[in-house]
Amino acid sequence: MPGSLAIALETSDIQERGLWTLYAHVFYEDEVVVKKISTHTNQRYAEVASRCILRTANR
């Protein structure tokens, strides 16, 4: 439930309509929230953004 502490965070890079879309999956005790974070022109940029989000979340 948003507002409570998240248990884990995962990201996924998915190709949609020729662009790479970055999604964040936030795990709570009783639900999973999936949010679209950004769209990139190539896979490398999406992977860099994904690593940056994970590093920040793990601080």
pLDDT-based confidence at residue 58 (cuts at 50, 70, 90): confident
Task: Match 């940056």 to its residue by tokens.
Answer: 52
pLDDT of residue 2: 55
User: What whole-number distance in Å separates Cα of residue 8 and Cα of residue 43?
Assistant: 24
pLDDT at 3: 67
Asked if residue 13 lies in contact with residue 32, where contact means CB atoms within 8 angstroms, the answer is: no
Single pTM value for the model: 0.83
Which residue in the block uniquely carries the two structure tokens 């309509």? 17
Over the stretch 1-55, which tens digit does the pLDDT of each residue have? Answer: 556 888 999 999 999 999 999 999 999 988 999 999 999 999 999 999 999 999 9
